[in-house]
Chains A and B, each alone.
Chain A
Amino acid sequence: MAVVKLFGAWLSPYVFRVIWALKLKGIPYEYIEEDLSNKSPLLLQYNPIHKKVPVLVHDGKPICESTVILRYIDEIWPQNPLLPADPYDRAVALFWIKFADDKSPIIAKLYRTEGEEQQVVVKEWLEMLEAMEEHALIGGKKFFGGDEINMVDIAFCMVAHWLGVIEDAAGLKVFEPYKFPRVSSWIQNFKSVPVIKDNLPDTDKIVAYLKRRKEMLLTSKSN
């Protein structure tokens, strides 16, 4: 049987996307934790372009970029499909996955910036939530995938879990549940799914880590 390896980092939402997909499909894999401040030669060999996690290695061949990995997993192991079968519905799903991918990096800026710069980031993030509320989640579905989660739900993991964590770390309140009732419902539903619930990084650990990083950034700025 071909060996599946996953290079990851304990706090990365992009890594968790891949973990969830592998678990939903029941695919055994070997997990290799990377220290992102001291990347292994193997990681650099497998991902020379970006030098990032996640990297999936299947049968010795590396695949990089979480969304590319998810699509590959879905094609190789078709059980529990993560994309709709209908081509149009699939296109709509891919549209929202791309949207989530384009907007997700903004979240890191929430704790890296301050004052006016931070306000710009907050505004962008709110626009993203509005698009989800007004366009992505219409139709009263439990999940983007209908009754079960699919790749779109997985792609929006940043909103479901990491946003709250980063708000804690940055001492900000960006997401007000009453303003985004559909998104709010979706987050509750998503985090109740056993595969998700049982596979989330420790919130306190991330908050502590981000606070330390912010302090380091501020210290280096003032030096």
Chain B
Amino acid sequence: MAGKQKHTRTKNQLKMGEVKVLGSWSSPYGLRVQWALGLKSVEYEYIDEDLLNKSQMLLKYNPVHKKIPVLVHNGKPIAESAVILEYIEETWPQPHPLLPKDPYERAMVRFWINFLDNKDKVAPFITFFIGVGEEHKKAVNEAKELLKLYEEQVLGEKKYFGGEEIGMLDLAMGWMAYFGVIEEIVDVKILDAETFPRLHAWIQNFRAHPVIKNNLPDHDRLLQNYTEKRQRFLAYSPHTENA
């Protein structure tokens, strides 16, 4: 088994070419790409972008959106994390395939990635982080409904969203792996073990995988950085209830 893995690793090294990832230390969209490359043993150069001061490289490689992540393979850039994941899967199918073989099951994965990346489905979690008052209460309810959907209909009884192994949908759900920091800062728990036992178990399993474990944003840095971020938003928010 070890011999087989070694052969595949060499194959990927030969096929690798030059791989760069432009990302941001705390962005789940960038991390998806890093996790995918890590799971497939593809070596890459990581370039951290300061999103308040974007590099010329980023602007050149993603002129339409000017966003991370961008994957650059042999000088050719690809933007949009979901698109990058599909490219990675096609270019380096082994080891660790990220999509099922069956076209119908693949359609289901694509459907759910589309769903959870939709800005209406992301918004409640953002408002949970920076909202106040009624807006916040509404966001908490919406977020819980989404989590219930993910727990019951998408994850179900499986260990991972991808089944026995981490798949593309797990990577897309990866933001949940460090959502606890957000809850800590807001001082409200919504993704609790009692209400969402399966998601909770998934988070533990996901975080424990060596590739994921070695590529998670530092807890203390997240705590400090995001606390500051939240304070800035609250200071400028028209809805802040001033003491």
Contact = CB atoms under 8 A, between A and B. Distances in A.
Contact of A67 (B76, B91, B114): B114
A65 B114 CA distance: 9
B86 interface: yes
Interface in A58-108: 58, 61, 63-65, 67-69, 71-72, 75-76, 87-88, 90-92, 94-95, 98-99
A88 B78 contact: yes
A105 B115 CA distance: 15
Interface stretch (B48-56, B104-112, B125-133, B176-184): B104-112
Interface in B91-123: 91, 103-104, 106-107, 110-111, 114-115
A95 B79 contact: yes
Contact of A72 (B82, B91, B104): B104
Given A63-B111, A99-B64, A131-B64, A75 B106 contact: yes
B104 A91 contact: no
B233 interface: no
A3 interface: no
Contacts of A72: 103-104, 106-107
Contacts of A131: 64
A163 B84 CA distance: 30
A87 B82 CA distance: 14
A64 B82 contact: no
Interface string A114-135: 0000000000000000010001
Contacts of B63: 135
A42 interface: no
A188 B73 CA distance: 35
Given A61-B104, A63-B104, A72-B103, A94 B111 contact: no
A88 B107 contact: no
B84 A91 contact: yes
Contacts of A61: 104
A177 to B, nearest CB: 22
A94 B78 CA distance: 10
A6 to B, nearest CB: 15
A1 interface: no
Contacts of B80: 94-95, 98
A64 B103 CA distance: 14
Interface in A131-176: 131, 135
A216 interface: no
Contacts of A71: 106-107, 110
B114 A68 contact: yes
Nearest to A75: B103
Nearest to B114: A65
A31 to B, nearest CB: 20
Nearest to B106: A75
B87 interface: yes
Nearest to B76: A88
Contact of A68 (B73, B78, B87, B110): B110
Contact of B115 (A49, A75, A94): A49
Given A72-B104, A94-B86, A87 B111 contact: no
A91 B86 contact: yes
B76 A64 contact: no
Contacts of A64: 111
B161 to A, nearest CB: 16
B91 A87 contact: yes
B83 interface: yes
B97 to A, nearest CB: 15
A63 B73 CA distance: 32
Interface string A45-65: 000010000000010010111
14 contacts: A61-B104, A64-B111, A68-B107, A69-B107, A87-B87, A87-B90, A87-B91, A88-B78, A90-B90, A91-B83, A94-B80, A94-B83, A95-B80, A131-B64
Interface of A: 49, 58, 61, 63-65, 67-69, 71-72, 75-76, 87-88, 90-92, 94-95, 98-99, 131, 135
In the A-B complex, list the 5 residue pairs whose CB atoms are closest, starting with the nearest. A91-B87, A75-B103, A72-B107, A94-B83, A87-B90
Given A61-B104, A135-B64, 5 more contacts: A65-B110, A71-B110, A94-B82, A95-B78, A98-B80
